Structure 1
Amino acid sequence: MTANVMVVVERQFDFPRPRVFRAWVEPHELKQWRGSPGWHVEEDTLEGDHKLGGRHTHVKVRDNDPTTRVVTNGVYSEFFEPDVFVSREQITGDPGIDPTKPLELRVEFTKMGRDGTLVRIIQGPYDPDVAGWHGEGWEKELTRLANFLAGTGEYATGGDGR
C-alpha cells in the first residue's frame, strides 16, 4: 500500500504558547506526557538540540512489556519558538511505520484569545490502513498533555509561561 495519508489533529489549551511549546521541547516536561496510556518515555533517552538542523531523539516503552520500544530520531527542518517546529523523523519499533521511510511531523502553536493556544499536529505520510490508529494515538497524547499542563500549578494562571 502507498503511504499517502497525512494525519491532522488539533486541540486547544488554556495556556500561553511559550508554556505549551516548552512542554514539547524540554526533556523533563516531554517525559511527563508523551506516549499513549500504557507507555512512557525513558528519561535517559531524551536528547535534543532545539534549533534549525538540530537532532532530537526519545524512546517510548510499553509499561507492561519493557522490551516493546518505539524509537524516534528526528532532525528539525523548521524551529521557530513558540510558533512552530517541523521534524523529519525515522521511527523504529512501531509495526505501522516503515522505519526506512521518514515521516514529517509539523506542530503549530497558534495564539487563541488572551492566553490560549491551539496546537495543530500534521504528521505523515502514513499507509491508509494505519493512519486512523496514529490519529487516535495523538488524541490520547494530547489528553495527557492537557492533564500535565493542568497539573503544573505555577502555570494555572499564566505564571511565568507568558
Structure 2
Amino acid sequence: MSTDTETMVLTRVFAAPRELVYRAFTDPEQIAQWFGPVGWSVPRDTISVAPHAGGGYKMTMVSDEDPSMASPIDSTFSEVVENELMIGSEVFEGRALTMKVEFADADGGTRITITQGPFSREMAEMTREGWESSFTKLDALLKA
C-alpha cells in the first residue's frame, strides 16, 4: 500500500501584478534567478518552458555546494490559462505527481496557490519548505 497520500497546498501573496508573477513562472531568464530552494540553483542553459497544453517545464536544479547533486524536472502541462492557471504532471522517483498553480488578484498584488502531490507526509513537508525558500528568492526578484 502506498504511503503517498498527502497533498501539499501552499498559498502566498506577492506584492506584484499577476502578469509579472506569471511571467516569473514562464520566462527562463527569471526562473534561473529564483527557482529552487536556497542552496540550489537552476542553470539557465537547463531551462526550457512551453506554457501551453502539451508543453511543459524542463530544467535541472543543482546543489550550490556539490554540483554533482542534481534534480531534473520534466513536467507536462495538461492545461494553461495565461496569467491564471498552470496544471501539469511529472514522474518523480518513479511516482506520478500532479501540480496546479493558480494566479489570482489579491490585496493589490497576486495570490499564488500551489497544489501538488501525492506525497508521503515527509516529502510533502520537504516540498513545502522548498517552495517557501524559492518564494523568498522570487519575492526579492519581483521587488527588484
Distance 2:37 2:44 in 1: 16
Distance 1:90 1:25 in 2: 20
2:111 matches 1:118 = yes
Unpaired runs of 5+ in structure 2? Answer: none
**Residue identity (%):** 32
Alignment TM-score, normalising by the size of structure 1:
0.84
What is residue 130 of structure 1 aligned with on the other side?
123
2:140 matches 1:150 = no
- Residue type at the aligned position of 2:126: W
Unpaired runs of 5+ in structure 1? Answer: 92-98, 152-162
Distance 1:123 1:80 in 2: 18
Q: Deviations over 1:133-154 (max 9, x none)?
A: 2111111111111011111xxx
Aligned to 2:53, what secondary structure does the other structure show?
A: coil
Distance 1:75 1:30 in 2: 17
Aligned to 1:28, what secondary structure does the other structure show?
A: helix
2:62 matches 1:53 = no
Q: How does 1:89-128 map to 2 (within 5 A)?
A: 89-91=90-92, 99-113=93-107, 115-128=108-121
- Aligned pair count reads 143
Distance 1:125 1:86 in 2: 14
Alignment TM-score, normalising by the size of structure 2:
0.94
Aligned to 1:66, what secondary structure does the other structure show?
A: coil
Larger radius of gyration between Structure 1 and Structure 2: 1
**Displacement, 1:52?**
0.9
What is residue 7 of structure 2 aligned with on the other side?
6
Which of 109, 118, 134 is the aligned partner of 1:141?
A: 134
What's the RMSD between the two structures over aligned residues? 1.1
- Residue type at the aligned position of 2:87: V
- Residue type at the aligned position of 1:124: G
